[in-house]
Structure 1
Amino acid sequence: MRFRSSVRAVSLVLVLLAPIALRAQLAEQPQLHTASQQELDVIKVLLKQQDAWNRGDLDSFAQGYKNSPDIIFLSREVSRGYDGMVEAYKRDYPNRTAMGTLTYSELEAHILDEKYAVVIGKYHLDRSKKDGGNADGVFSLLFENTTQGWKIILDHTT
């Protein structure tokens, strides 16, 4: 008899605590987010860049940026301008093997308003040791919605 009443008491406690445990478990789950069309359009720019890079096509890769002397790049130093960016990429990645294979991950697009958006994410560059080795980092990009579509105007890559 005592065993049955103990089982009933434990069962009652578990039934009463189950909703609390379930709420705590659901609170730990990442919230699902349905991307807006604008967010998808911004991410598509990066996916096109990734594809162009992996084909060895730096000119197509550069089309993700606004062709302007005012665009800004932050890495080890601050540099400005589209033409300088293209020259630097061609100098630093003179051939397909030096470019390696680029993969973006953990991309998050945040639309600020109709004209601007921010994207954060990670990148991985897979290359042989003789071509510079692998590289990983994070980035934040500021996009402007131009007449040619979403374009990067500020690139902060580490």
Structure 2
Amino acid sequence: MSATMLIWAAVAAAATPQAQVEAVMADSAAGWNAGDLARFTAIYAPDAVYAAGGEVARGKEAIAARYSKSFVGGGNVRGRLSFTPVMWRPLSAVHLLHVARWTLTSTGGATPQSGLTTLLFERRKEGWRIISDHSS
């Protein structure tokens, strides 16, 4: 069983929806930091919508294509990614609104970049997935 599959199995056993979402977000950030685009975008549903910078990407493939330019030569050229939870709001038994602060820390000592992301998660058969992401 791969490391990602083990993480997803551990997520399924987590006690609360917030803990489950935090675990999948940590795995996504770990994918970013390892330069693994597939692992980074595994958190998105196939029909997810991503809005940022005046653009909208529809579908996981379009979201991955938008991020692909950051993944060069087996790494991530934009820096190390981390998330800090800001707020949670359960919307239903299968939907959760999550606002988090993202931070990109450069390995070259440049000033970190930071912003907010508003994520709508849906619990699906394969686990919690982002169905809408608005990042600034």
Counterpart Cα distance in 2 of 1:113 and 1:66: 18
Identity, % of aligned pairs?
24
- Higher share of residues assigned strand: 2
Q: 1:72 aligns with which of 17, 42, 49?
A: 49
Q: 2:59 aligns with which of 81, 84, 89?
A: 81
Residue type of the alignment partner of 2:52 = S
- Structure 1 residues 91 and 133, CA gap change in structure 2 (3 angstroms): farther
* Contact 1:101–1:126 under 8 Å retained in 2: yes
Which structure 1 residue ranges, 5 or more long, are not aligned?
1-35
| Paired residues, number | 120
Counterpart Cα distance in 2 of 1:56 and 1:97: 5
1:61 pairs with 2:20: no
- Structure 1 residues 58 and 82, CA gap change in structure 2 (3 angstroms): same
* Contact 2:70–2:76 under 8 Å retained in 1: no
| Residues 47-97 of structure 1: CA deviation (Å, up to 9, x unaligned) | 1111121111111111001123xx211111222111111112112332414
Aligned position for 2:9: none
Alignment RMSD, CA only? 2.1
* Contact 1:43–1:107 under 8 Å retained in 2: no
- The 5-angstrom pairing of residues 85-124 of structure 1 reads 85-95=63-73, 96-124=75-103
**Secondary structure of 1:105's match?**
strand
Which structure 2 residue ranges, 5 or more long, are not aligned?
1-14
Counterpart Cα distance in 1 of 2:76 and 2:57: 25
* Structure-2-length-normalised TM-score: 0.78
Structure index of larger Rg: 1
- Higher share of residues assigned helix: 1
Any runs of at least 4 consecutive aligned residues in structure 1 with deviations exceeding 3 A, and if so which? none
* Structure-1-length-normalised TM-score: 0.68
* Contact 2:97–2:121 under 8 Å retained in 1: yes
Aligned position for 1:125: 104
Residue type of the alignment partner of 1:37 = T
Aligned position for 1:145: 123
